[in-house]
Chains A and B, each alone.
Chain A
Amino acid sequence: MNSSTDKTLQSRRRFLENISRAAGGAALYGIGLGLYSRQATSLPSQSIRPPGVVNESDFLSACVRCGLCVRDCPYDTLKLSSLGDDVALGTPYFDARKIPCEMCEDVPCVKACPTGALDPALDNIDDARMGLAVLIDQEACIAFQGLRCEVCFNVCPLANKAISLNRTHNKRTGKHALIVPVVHSDACTGCGKCEHACILEEAAIKILPIRLAKGELGHHYRLGWQEKQKAGESLVTPDTPHQYNLPEGTSYDYEGEGLISPPENNSRDINDTPFTKSAIDRLNEGVK
C-alpha cells in the first residue's frame, strides 16, 4: 500500500517535472521567435512588394513563399528573398531601379497566387499601389536646374495622371521656365518605371513605401472650404473684415502684398487681387 502510494507520488512528480520542462522550453522558444520576428519583418524601403499587397503584416500572414508569382512574372521583375537578403525570408519583392514592374494588363502574378496573399480582387493593374514615386531630391533632378529631361514623365505608364509636368519660373536665369515632374498619389501605382529610367547616377525620383511617402492629416481636421462645399454654405459666421489704422487712401491687402491702394470702386471683392487667376501664369510673372 505504502509503496504503491510512493510510486503514484513519484510518477506524479515525474509528470509535473516533464510538463514544466516542456512548458519552459516552449516559452523559451516562443520568446526567441517572437523577438526575432520583430526585426526580421522590417522591410527595407527600396524593396517593393508585388501588386495586390495592401499591408505588410497581412502579407506576412498570407504568403507561403512558393514563388509562383515570381515564376509567372514575364519580365523577371519579381524575385524571392533568400537567406542573407534583408527582406522577410522567401517573400517576393522587386527593386525598381533594377527591373521595374511592367504593369501587365492581365496581372499574372496576382493570378498565380494560391493563397490570396496578392489580393485576387485586383483585376486592373492601374489600381495597384505597390508604392509611391517621390521626387526625392530636387537638388539633383536636372529638371529643377532648368534643363529639359522629362524622362520619368515619358516612361510613366500613366503619364499625365500619375506624373504631370508643371511649368514654373526659372529664378536663376530670370527668363526661362523650369519644367518639373509632379507625382500624383491618386494615380501612381508605384511600378517604378520612373525610378528605373531616371538618368542620374542615383535616381532623384524613387519609389517609396506608401507609409513613408505619404503624410496623414489628423482625423479631427476639417478643411473649411471642403466642409463649406459639402454643406452648401458657410458653417461659421464669416469674419468681420479686419480694421486697420492705415494711412489715407490705402488698405491692407490679403495675399501678402502689403499696403495697396484700394480699387476704384472701393469694393472688397475676393476676386479683386492684383494677380491673374491662373496659378501657372502667376508663377510666370516671377518676383515683383
Chain B
Amino acid sequence: MLTLDAQLLIPKHVSFTLVEQDAILLNTRTNKYYALDEVGARLWGLLNEGKQLKDAYQMLLDEYEVKPARLEKDLLELIDHLVENGLVEVAEG
C-alpha cells in the first residue's frame, strides 16, 4: 500500500516536457505518452528536483486551495498510475 512516506525514483527512460502549465511524460521504452494537469506537472517538477513525496505534498498543500485528505488521495492515485505505467519507481525499503 502506497503512502506519502514512499521513496520515489524517476527512471532514466522517462522524459518530461512542460506545455504551459501542463506537462507530457514519455516512457521511451514503450513509446507511450501521458498528460499531466497543472497540479500533476507541479508534483512531477518537485519529484524531478529530488523532493520526497511527503515534502512535495506539503508544498502543494501550501500552493493550492485543497483539503489535505483530498490532496493525499489524489496524489497517491496519481503515483499509483505512474508506477503502473513505469514512469515512477518505488525504492525498496
Instruction: Say if A and B assemble together.
Output: no
